[in-house]
Amino acid sequence: MAHEGRQIVIPTQVLGDTATCKAGRGTFVERGKIYAERLGILNVQGNIINVIALKGRYDPVVNDFVIGIVEEAATSNWMVDINAPYPALLHVHEVPWEIEFGDTEKYLNTGDAILAKVLSVDESKKLQITLNDRNLFKIKGGHIIEVESSIVPRIIGKSGSMIDLIKKYTRCRIFVGQNGRIWIDGDAEGIEKVLQAINKIESEAITFGLTARMEELLKKDAKDVR
């Protein structure tokens, strides 16, 4: 069949046994059997069995690029919503500006969007993020949307192949946060095309041959390609 899907597994499905395989991500072991722990796609690398989650909250990992929305400005930090089960803390020392005491609101306030990086995650999942990096900034203009964090890898593609394809044909700046938030900046038509492309990826994420079909879709009414 031309467009086969990948294999979907559900929790408690037996995927293998520890005698011949290793339990990877998204699995748990009980009495020598490897089980899927959540709804996802089976992914076998050598003899390691992984399950890539199809749905579920973003689980922050250190160094992940994330798009956050500032919830509140406190005296020496900000609380930022990064679409994880917990809000993240951004400390005044982790931003590229010199902040006078109590002036946090002047730089970032409720509703501001930022492209940040996950700095630390402790055992009780307390999160810290940072803006201290050339690539990180406060977001101005453009549009932000949210997708399931589990399809972010498909939106980026192998070595960025998918996202580069979309950028090429729509001429938009696009930042994809690992936390499922995406920032798009460009002219209205371009943004519209990006949204269409992302919609397509969302509904066809588990199929093969998506990159090729995406190129077809984008080529269709592209004016000129840079």
Partner 1 sequence: MTVVPIIKRDYVLKLAEQGKRLDGRSFDEFRKIEIETGVVNKAEGSARVKIGNTQVLVGIKMGIGEPFPDTPDTGVLSTAAEFIPLASPDFESGPPRENAIELARVVDRGVRESQVVQIDKLCIIPKEKVWLVFIDIHILDYDGNLFDAASLAALAALSTATVPVKRFASDLPEDYAKEDYPLPMTEPPISCTAVKINDYVFFDPSLDEEEIADVRLTVATDNKGDIRAMQKGLSGSFTKEEIQKVIKGALDNGQEIRKQLSASTGK
Partner 2 sequence: MKSDLELITREGKRLDGRGPEDLRNIKIEAGVLHRADGSCYLEWGGNKVIVAVYGPREALPRHVQNPLRAIVQARYNMAAFSVEDRKRPGPDRRSVEISKVISAALEKVILTEQFPRATVDVNIEVLDAEAGTRCAGLTAAGVALVDAGIPLRDIPVACAAGKIGGQVVLDLGKEEDNLGDADLPLAISPRTGEVLLLQMDGHLTVDEFNQAFDLAVKGCHIVSEIQKKAIMHKYQTVAAEV
Q: Tell me how far, at minimum, the Cβ of 209 lies from partner 2, in Å.
A: 9
The interface partner of residue 112, options being partner 2, partner 1, none and the CB cut-off 5 to 8 Å by kind, is partner 1
Burial readout 84-117 (b: 16 or more C-beta within 10 A, e: otherwise): beebbbbebebbeeeeeeeebeebbeeebbbbbb
Tokens encoding 100: 């006078």
Looking at 17, 59, 81, 105, which residue binds partner 1 (CB under 8 A)? 81
Cα separation of 187 and 176, whole Å? Answer: 18
Residue 204 binds which entry of partner 2, partner 1, none, CB below 5-8 Å type-dependent: partner 2
x-marked contacts with partner 1 along 114-143 as a string, rule CB under 8 A: -------------------------xxxxx
11 binds, among partner 2, partner 1, none (CB under 5 to 8 A by kind): partner 2
Residue type (1 letter), 161 = S
Q: Report the distance separating Cα 74 and Cα 103, nearest Å.
A: 9
- Compute how many other C-beta atoms are within 10 angstroms of the C-beta atom of residue 217: 15
> Which of helix, strand or coil describes residue 112?
coil
Which residues form the interface with partner 2 (CB under 8 A)? 3-6, 8, 10-12, 26, 28, 35, 37-40, 53-57, 59, 85-87, 123-126, 150, 203-204, 206-207
| Secondary structure class of 2 (helix, strand, coil) | coil
105 sits near partner 1 (criterion: CB under 8 A): no
Q: Does 144 bind partner 1 (CB under 8 A)?
A: yes
> Quick one: what does residue 37 bind among partner 2, partner 1, none, with the CB cut-off 5 to 8 Å set by partner type?
partner 2
Tokens found for residue 180: 């499922």
**Residues of the shown chain interacting with partner 1 in the complex, contacts defined by CB under 8 A:** 69-71, 81, 110-113, 139-144, 188
